[in-house]
Structure formats: C-alpha cells, structure tokens
Chain A
Amino acid sequence: MDLLKRPKAPIVSEAWDQIDEEARRVLKLHLAGRKLVDFSGPHGWELGAVNTGRLKHIEKGPVEHVSHAIRDVRPLVELRAPILLPILELDYAARGADDLDLDPVILAAESVARAEDEAIFHGFAEGKITGIVEASPHAPIEVRSSQAWPSAVSAAKEVLRMAGINGPYALALGMEAYDELTADGDDGYPLRNRIEERVSEGNLIWAPALKEGAVLLSVRGGDYELTVGQDLSVGYASHDRTTVELYLTESFTFRVLEDKAAILLRRVR
C-alpha cells in the first residue's frame, strides 16, 4: 500500500471512478499556472527538493580558516485539502447511480488549484517560492478603464519585447478582468476579440487566483518551471460508520528562471 492508502477506504470502485473524474474535471478547469509554465515531473513522493545549483555562503563558520556554504534548494511544498463524504451516498454508485453528490470534491479541487496558482503567481514565502508577479522587474501597466485593455496589452507586449523576451505570449486574467473582457465593448465587439488580436489567438487563460488584473507572459518555455513530486491525487484519511474522510494532495515547487518574462497589468478603478 502506498501513502494514499486508498485500499483502506470503504468505497466501491464505481464511486472511486466518479470521485476521481470529478476532481480531475474541476482541477483542469481551475488550474491556470499549468497552462502557462513548464512542467517537470511527476517525480513521486520521494522528491524533497529541487537543486538550484547555487550556494549560500556563510559569513563566518564555526571553524577558523574553513569557509562554509550551504546548497540552495527549493523544498517541495505539500498541499492537502480534506474531503468528507457520506458512505451511503457513495454506495449508490454500486447500484448504478452516476450522479453522486460530490460537492466536497469540487470544493477541495477548487481550493488546491487556488493554492497552487497562488504560489505560481504570487509566491509562497514559507515554501521559498517566488511568484511570477512579484518576481517581475517591470513596472505594472495601469488599466484605467475596461476600454483601455487592448492598448494596455499592446504596451505590455512592447515592454517584454524591449526586454528581449520573445513570444508566443499568453494573457492570464483574474476573475474580474476576465469578466470585463468577455463582456461586449461599447461597439458590441467583445473586448476579448480585440485582445486576442494582440496576443496569440486563444492564449487567454482564466486565472482566478490572480489578484490584481492580468499578467502577460511569454510561453516560449524555459522561463518558469513547476516541479511536481506527487501529482494531484485523492487519498484516504479515515472513516467511521457513516462518513469517509479523503483528501486531495500534491507536492510541488515553482521556480522563476527568467524574471523579465512577465508583466502585470493592474486594473485601477
């Protein structure tokens, strides 16, 4: 048995299928970072850290005339979100029910996707993760009205080009920015279409974890890397007579390899 301990769960196989499928569907919908950055893995639970190849030199070591340095690594962060499900409901799957009430699975999948994307876009200091937005050295471009989005995207693209960052580019949009762009413009022509003319067609990504507007970034590869140990999985925690507790988990870290490859477009009201 492995760390997920699934065989210990009092869950019929038909219900496991529906749980996994629902988790997979929601995760694929919500995960935005994975649609934009390079992916390394899955490497399994055994991977504890990613080598950066760098050293941190200690000013003064405990022994004279001996210099001390510590290898700089990125530890993997483990996420875990609980899922509580009634066993009676899950048993219906064995009787042919294909519409189980799996709201707790949806909630856990949304939460874990949000946590992974928060780390990718905004960082997670405790986990030694620097996010795409905070790493960017470019001054954010302010977007003062919904109609200003197309020109702001053009300006952002120009900043990246001037910094030597070639495309293709993608635009990750926070929830409010996404809503604004999918609404019709004053002339009835959706703003989204105007933006897509400026970014590679279709490279508009819904990124609910993004807080301040949108991020234009290069997706040419080699700039950002998500390293996954154990990829997103559903495991078993415990159960009593009526309820089983599962969890959604993963281990990962994220590295910015080229900080100039993204720029924030900040919506100002």
Chain B
Amino acid sequence: MFPHMSSDTYHEPLELLSEDTKNTHRAIVSLMEELEAIDWYQQRAEACSDPELSSVLTHNKNEEVEHAMMTLEWLRRKHAVFAENIETYIDSSGPILEVETQSTGGGNGEGGAPAKGKGEGGESAAKPRSKNSYNTSESLGIGSLKGHK
C-alpha cells in the first residue's frame, strides 16, 4: 500500500507507468478537482442568502477557473493532441460541431451558418491553425511528440 499516495485513481500497476503518464494523471486529476470546485462554488453562490458571502464564493469560483486553465495549459504544452484540439476548438465561432467537420476536411455541415476558427473572418471555412497567422508570438506548437509513431 501507498499510505501517502496523492491519487487512488490509477487504473494500472504503478510500476508499469512512466513518469510522464504519472504526471499527466496528476494534471488530469487536478483539472477534474478544479472543475468540480467551480461547479460547487457556482451552486453555493447562487443559493446563498447573504450577498457578501455570495460575492466571496463567486470570487473563489473565478480563482478556480484560473487554476483549471493553468493546468489545462500544462497539458497543452505536454501533449500534442491536446494542443491540436485546443487550436481547433478554443476561441472558434459558429456551431461547434461544424468546427470539427471543417477541421477534418469534411466541409460545412448541412444547415446553420459556417463555423469560423480563430482569427477567421468572412465566409471561409475554419482552419485549425488560423490563429498562427495573426498571433506572431506563437510557435508551430510541436512540443512533445512522445507516444507518436
């Protein structure tokens, strides 16, 4: 037994897991906890009958959002598939399912306005990496390729 183990949600024997996988597990569990806390604070703030306490709880909720995003950013930097999907979906506009259709080359779905990816204007299809054209501080987002063939 591991009396001080930080997580009891491993699904495979620890000796079979790499340090990368263990750290990713830690990040994912942390992200889950932050998101759960946001949900809890939201409910408490809404149900609370004291306006000042409600403000404190809302403030705390927003702090958790910051923590969640910091953890998500760690995952993005470490895992190319996270990075690719964040590039595709975050800050896109239009129907979200159509962002997927267009990013995979499937064209516009039937009905609804065309979805637009980041930085896109006009009627052109969403492109997963369009943000790169305008945000000059960004790299190509290669990062770690561990686990890629």
Task: Write the residues of chain A forming the contact surface with B, with a CB cutoff of 8 angstroms.
Answer: 1-2, 4-7, 13-14, 16-17, 20-21, 23-24, 27-28, 31, 34-39, 41-42, 166, 168, 202, 204-205, 219-222, 228, 230-234, 250
Contact = CB atoms under 8 A, between A and B. Distances in A.
Given A13-B130, A16-B133, A17-B130, A24 B141 contact: yes
B132 A16 contact: yes
Contact of A231 (B15, B127, B136, B143): B143
Contacts of B140: 20, 23-24, 27, 231-234
Most buried by B among A2, A17, A205: A17
A39 B136 CA distance: 23
A34 B80 CA distance: 11
B19 A37 contact: no
B57 to A, nearest CB: 36
Given A228-B143, A230-B139, A231-B141, 5 more contacts: A16-B133, A35-B148, A221-B19, A232-B140, A234-B140
A219 B139 contact: no
A35 B145 contact: yes
B49 interface: no
Contacts of A21: 129
Interface of B: 15, 18-21, 77-78, 80, 119, 127, 129-130, 132-134, 136-149
A50 B18 CA distance: 23
B133 A4 contact: no
Contacts of B144: 34, 38-39
B139 A5 contact: no
A69 B83 CA distance: 42
B122 to A, nearest CB: 11
Given A13-B130, A168-B18, A205-B149, A5 B143 contact: no
Per CB-CB distance, the 3 closest pairs between chain A and chain B, nearest first, are: A39-B144, A221-B19, A231-B139
23 contacts: A2-B137, A4-B136, A5-B136, A13-B133, A17-B130, A17-B133, A20-B129, A20-B140, A24-B142, A28-B142, A31-B142, A34-B142, A34-B145, A34-B148, A39-B78, A39-B143, A168-B18, A202-B149, A221-B18, A221-B20, A222-B19, A231-B141, A231-B143
Contacts of A168: 18
Contacts of A13: 119, 130, 133-134
Secondary structure of the B contact surface, majority rule: loop
Contacts of A42: 77, 139, 143
B149 A220 contact: no
Nearest to B128: A21
Contacts of A233: 138-140
A5 B137 CA distance: 9
Contacts of B138: 233
A205 to B, nearest CB: 7
Nearest to B134: A13
Contact of B146 (A16, A35, A202): A35
A219 B144 CA distance: 13
Nearest to B23: A221
Contacts of B119: 13
A232 B142 contact: yes
A202 B148 CA distance: 10
B89 to A, nearest CB: 17
A38 B133 CA distance: 29
B147 A6 contact: no
